[in-house]
Amino acid sequence: MIELGLHHRLTVVRESEQGFYVTKDEEDAILLPNRYIPSGLQIGDEVDVFVYSDSQGRPIATTLRPKLTLNEFAPLKVTSVTDFGAFVDWGIAKELLVPFREQDKKLKEGEFAVIYLFYDEVSERLVGSAKVRKFLDRENIKVEVGEKVDVLVYDETELGYKAIVNHIHDGLLYQNEVFQEVYVGDRLEAYVKKIRTDGKIDLQLEPFGYSKVAPNAEEILQILKENDGWLPLTDKSSPDEIKERLNMSKKTFKKAIGDLYKNKQIELKEDGIYLRQR
């Protein structure tokens, strides 16, 4: 049987009023409806399609490209909420159902949620799940501290932003270490800060080491130039004040200032930082 939820290259084997039938095996031929048939397609030709099931549970092919495939995550918009659950737009005509049992908190129409696509053995249909964490691997960690990773933000809490790491692991960006706007559904580059004993991964958006300091040092220099060579901040300034003025953490600020001071680009005085005259 042709597996649901995946892309397949299939051969056109016969025609009907509803469209072409495509297959890898005559016994498994499935319908490619007329509205999806590319111009010039003929019996015997091969065509790339995505296979899913219709409202009656029958497999059907489409040339449309969904926003996620089997065993993948993607941020999707909730289009409606019914007695069965929420429906989300995943890029094809038939919207994807996220049953109430697959929601940690009730989804609301109009919002975006990160959804996982899986095959439900009971209903024999493709189903969406917003219970992201149960599909993440916390045992076989395949990343290392310091490694650059891809993340998909799937939830926001008081502690920070929960994120899927490299499509398989569970990570967290701490609220007090994030100095930019972040939203559920954002895809970002991050760095592994710590791998915890419970298999969760602490993340940070800024790279480690000198590469982290240099851009921030340049930013401080630019701000100094725009403010007549003076910035009313010192190592005693509060983290909130530093974040408000520079949009960076106090730790990053101190490293950047140290770098500029060593390079004799600034002077440090009791009332702030001064651009050194050359």
Residues of the chain with CATH 1.10.10.10: 210-275
Residue-level pLDDT at 117: 98
Q: What is the mean pLDDT of the chain?
A: 92
Residue-level pLDDT at 206: 82
Domain 210-275: give its CATH architecture: Orthogonal Bundle (1.10)
Choose between 22 and 55: higher pLDDT. 22
Q: pTM of the entire structure?
A: 0.78
pLDDT tens per residue across span 26-80:
668 999 999 999 999 999 999 999 999 988 888 999 999 999 999 999 999 999 9
pLDDT at 158 over 80: yes
**Strand boundaries in 2-159, DSSP class E:** 7-15, 19-23, 30-33, 46-53, 59-62, 73-81, 85-89, 96-99, 112-120, 125-129, 148-156
Q: Does domain 73-133 correspond to CATH entry 3.30.390.50?
A: no
Closest CA to 1 of 26, 35, 36, 32: 26
CATH of domain 136-204: 2.40.50.140
Residues of the chain with CATH 2.40.50.140: 7-62, 73-133, 136-204
Q: What is the average per-residue pLDDT within 198-208?
A: 90
pLDDT tens per residue across span 102-136:
999 999 999 999 999 999 998 889 999 999 999 99
7-62 sits in which CATH class?
Answer: mainly beta
Residue-level pLDDT at 103: 97
User: Predicted confidence band at 85 (pLDDT cuts at 50, 70, 90)?
Assistant: very high
Q: Which two tokens stand for residue 166?
A: 């490299």
Residue-level pLDDT at 51: 96
